[in-house]
Amino acid sequence: MLLLDIPNRKRWTMPREARRSYAEHIPSPNEKPWKTRRSASSNQSETDKGSPVSEACSTFVLTLCWYAPNSGHARNVLTGISSENHVGKGDGVSMTKALLINGSPQQKKSTFTALEQVARGLEDNGVSTEIVWLGNQPVKPCVACGACNATQRCAFGEEDGVNALIEAVQAADALVIGSPVHFAGMNGSLKSALDRMFFAAASSFACKPAGVVVVARRAGTTAALDQILKYPLYAQMPVVSSFYWTMLHGQNGEQVLKDEEGVQCAYQLGANMAWLLASIAAGREAGIAPTKLENRAWTNFIR
């Protein structure tokens, strides 16, 4: 397992390469305003202790930073967002990766545990996984500015990590979205992120298999599952199912693991997704390509 963590903003120090003149902080038109830093080690937080770590993988830190010229230092724009990479096992699809988004404000609780079960199903069938935590900082809602139409990037996405998530989905072969249930719906920050991601770049997600898991203490799971499924269904993403609706129950990770049917359902979602990825790869090798949408029709109710 590859653990990635984001340092606390208050404890963040400017990296050496950022100590440049004011003029050098201003990115050129072709330069991305975020940088990547990797380290050879990572300190686990209290909530991370006891997590299973694969002996075959190393640990490092990934930090996405925005260099703020006005302040003269770097600030973390993905505060709270972290990810865990798992290497697939078995004879499944090599070099294939699924991105799993943990949309809970709690990093290592019920939603993370549910996603771990999906990841196991993927890994056991040869697909590597990356679990990305959305974090617990505010995520701006879409303001319908339309700037993303020409760029497939959100105009504000460098500030809170939405553009980094877009690029992560584009780089992955499949997507799984996980959320706790808040008032019979998904977490509000997750909805803001998904609105902006899919409004900006849905066409680039087409034909990537997608799945959804939701977790609740008691109720509201059906409505939340249906709400999140609207995104892949809008983006021409094949939706992967299990033997039952992928809804798990529990107030924390320990309770979720006691939902044996839910755990098995989440695992089978991952296994089915691995099978679909293998089928897509076989079809690609056989020369079978998806049919591209041409001349899309737009029909308004009132004209």
Helix/strand/coil for 266 = helix
Report the length, in residues, of the chain: 303
Domain 79-285 is classified in which CATH homologous superfamily? Answer: Flavodoxin domain (3.40.50.360)
**8 A C-beta contact, residue 210 and residue 175:** yes
Residue 88 in this model has a pLDDT that exceeds 70? no
**8 A C-beta contact, residue 27 and residue 99:** no
**8 A C-beta contact, residue 225 and residue 247:** yes
> Domain extents for the chain?
79-285
pLDDT in tens, 182-240: 999 999 999 999 999 999 999 999 999 999 999 999 999 999 999 999 999 999 999 99
Residue 6 in this model has a pLDDT that exceeds 60? no
Backbone angles phi, psi at 240, to 5 degrees: -90, 135
Backbone angles phi, psi at 74, to 5 degrees: -90, 140
pLDDT in tens, 108-136: 999 999 999 999 999 999 999 999 999 99
Residue 66 in this model has a pLDDT that exceeds 50? no
The whole-angstrom separation of Cα 83 and Cα 104 is: 13
Give 101's pLDDT tier (boundaries 50, 70, 90).
Answer: very high
Q: CA dist 224 to 88, 216, 274, Å? A: 29, 10, 24
Burial letters for 235-251: b for 16+ Cβ neighbours within 10 Å, e otherwise? bebbebebeeebbbbbe
pLDDT in tens, 133-161: 999 999 999 999 999 999 999 999 999 99
